[in-house]
Amino acid sequence: MLHRGIKFVHAAVLAFSAVLAFLFVRGLDEDGVLGSSALVWVFDSGNSTTGGQVAQDIESFSARHGFAVAREVPDLRDPDSHRHLYLAAGKRSDAASWLDEGYPEFSRNFRTDVHPISEIGQRDPRGYYYVFGSSADADALLAEFTRLGLQAGVSHPFSYSELATAYKGGALYWSFWVVALAAVTMCGASVLLNAKAYGVLRLQGMSFTDLLLRDLRQLAVFWSISLGAVAAAAVAFLGFYNGFARLGLFAAVAAVLAGLLVLMTLAAHAAVLALTGKVEVLRALRGELPARAATASAYLVRVPAMLLALGIAVDVAHAGQNVLARQASQTAYAKAGDAVTIRLNGSLRGETKQVIKELGPWLRRADRAGKVVVAGRRDLQSIAPTSHLPTGEVLFVNETFLRKQPVLDPAGRRYGPAPRDGKAPGTHAVRLIVPQSLSARTPAIATAVRGVLDVGSRRHIRVEAFRSRNGQRVFAYNPGSEIYNAAHAPEEDRSLVHDPVVVVIPNGSDVIDDDLYTAFASQEGIVFPDPADVLSAVDGKGPGKLSTYVAAVRPVAENSALKRRDAVRELRLDLFNLVVAVAVLLIAGVGVCIIYSRKNAQAIFVQHISGWRYATTHRFILAVEAALAVVLATRVPFENWLHNRKYREFADAGIPAPYPPAHLTAVDVGVIAGLVTVELGAVLVTLAVFHRRIVKEGATEA
């Protein structure tokens, strides 16, 4: 009979393949339009044609060539979970049915509405067009756009190379390899534990090939049962989740993942089975193993598993802190109500000046009317790279911001908007509010702030300095991921800014030029408390309007909730990876102890009755495990030291580093200590159990 551990591994591989396929296809559906073969990005129109003319041409072009083309447009009010496809349906494309039946959405978190391309109106033609055909069809569409005077490029987002680049290093990628390592380890361990049974079969005359074929036949029977159960459960779940949408794609992805994992598992099965055949039959009947080869194999698994578990454990700690930070900012986002930011059209390559010309004055008028909250952000070190300022953030805000968010002076009094004394908006001074801890750096900070506000002009900006109380956390309306910060990772939530330098600029003042207004808007730093103020301006009725430059509005509270959802997903996957990696580490450690104790059982008993100390008897394995524990405990501090040495090289040269410094936090120390305890403790406990068993059995036989 097969060892039950082997059966468990194959059942787990099938179940995991289905789960990973679901997560993978769901992510693909949320990131792009499934079923397409290519994506054509039109990034320059040259004003050679209108959006309506392009739509008509695509419709006739699609009808002539038979493949479908769809223009993707984000929903104006909900761009992060709702999109629109304006479809020109080719006769030989399955996408043609979407006009009547709707887009088959795999993910329930993303909604896709399909419209005839004729309904797109006079929308600017620059944007993304999905091709539902062959690569040659995509090239033909590109040539058609060129004929119309448009500049475009082709990509294949669902090709292997693109997917490998997008997912490599992510949580799903590591989940696959962690499970693969676990499957190989558990299968190999199960074969080793079944060594006596294989010895009996060898005594009966069975060769290695006979043993392997016997196991494969038994696995085939078990596979048919397990595969049927997993397939039935997956189909039932997908029927409930999305009505069997994309069932074929899901099945194909699951089959590929299962095939890869099963091949690796079977390879490990055959390799370890061959290893057990290296022992003479009579010795195999006593459960002996080829100690050197088996020990080397166990450590070849144990060492990578140890390093992998360490890396994943640190990721779990950081992901957990990120989730907690996002939870802490939820109250502030809830108070923001229906406030929105704007999402600019990313397909306007080469038209930066025109975008600034159109958006800057509009944003200034809205600011002067008190309809926006300005919450621009900059990294403190990056605005003055030669001043050696400490890490921190600068918030460029307007007077309306102070009405919404409290900023306190050292006495606990709240700063308010400047009094309206009838002066023109540009005549009031800029207020620079510096935390008490940075008061000595105020002149350098003031000079740096003037440099940011005075780009390209020779005017003198009057700056009045004030103090703010230390220890404040100011809500900045966005997580700060769009802004480089020398002290934080890009994915870290910085919605609540700790002790920021606050630069207060009068509403609508020309101190902020059109370029800076547009830059702040592109970084989610211009907030409209009332969505109607921006929706009424972005009407989408034709070319030359703000709809050309503003693709959508993004509710700040909903955007935060979506980012928190993604952070929780990431944390769950990291936790799963950590559990599996630790399990592999423990299995490999137990395997080392099994191999060691079976090889040295007689020597251990003799040394015990001869009065040898426990540590002396097992000095070799204890020394090896202690060395591994030292490596595990010092790896992260050593990597941080190397990282910070490079960071200091940038600082000494007066150049902002392209990454934040590494810090060994109490959480990191706790994670490392816990992992070392589990890794070393498991081996010590297992070794003690086997030592006691050897002594007990030896005494009984005596």
Split at pLDDT 50, 70, 90, the class of 700 is low
Q: Which amino acid makes up residue 293?
A: A
Helices in 84-128 by DSSP H: which ranges? 98-101
- Does 364 fall in a domain? yes
pLDDT at position 415? 92
Q: Bridge partners of 69?
A: 88, 131
Instruction: Measure the CA dihedral 366/368/369/374, to 10°.
Output: 60
Q: Which of 650, 624, 564 has the alpha carbon at shortest distance from 333?
A: 564
Instruction: Compute how many other C-beta atoms are within 10 angstroms of the C-beta atom of residue 224.
Output: 10
- Looking from the CA of 393 toward its CB, the CA atoms found within 13 Å total 27
Quote the DSSP letter at residue 542.
S
Q: What is the helix (H) or strand (E) element at residue 145, kind and residue range?
A: helix 135-147
- The last residue of a domain, from among 502, 532, 548: 548
Domain that holds residue 145: 33-156
- Does 228 fall in a domain? no
3-state secondary structure of 45: coil
- Does 425 fall in a domain? yes
Instruction: Kindly list the strands in the beta sheet with 82-88, ordered across the sheet, starting from the edge strand earlier in the chain.
Output: 111-116, 82-88, 68-74, 127-132, 38-44, 151-155
- Does 416 fall in a domain? yes
Q: How many domains does the chain have?
A: 2
- The last residue of a domain, from among 156, 187, 217: 156
pLDDT in tens, 626-636: 888 898 888 88
Mean of per-residue pLDDT scores for the chain: 86
pLDDT in tens, 159-209: 888 888 888 888 899 999 999 998 998 888 888 777 777 778 777 888 888
Q: Which of 426, 452, 418, 451 has the alpha carbon at shortest distance from 511?
A: 426
What token pair was written down for 516?
């800076």
pTM for the model stands at 0.86
pLDDT in tens, 122-143: 888 889 999 998 889 999 999 9
Q: Which residues contact 135 (CB under 8 A, 6 or more apart)?
A: 37, 38, 156
pLDDT in tens, 353-403: 888 888 999 999 999 999 999 999 998 888 877 777 788 899 999 999 999
- Does 138 fall in a domain? yes
- Does 427 fall in a domain? yes
Q: Compute the distance between CA of residue 437 and CA of residue 361 in angstroms, rounded to an integer.
A: 37
pLDDT at position 428? 64
Asked whether the beta carbons of 17 and 187 are under 8 A apart, the reply is no
pLDDT at position 599? 75
- Does 145 fall in a domain? yes
- Does 318 fall in a domain? no
pLDDT in tens, 318-354: 888 889 889 989 989 999 989 999 998 888 877 788 8
- The last residue of a domain, from among 118, 136, 156: 156
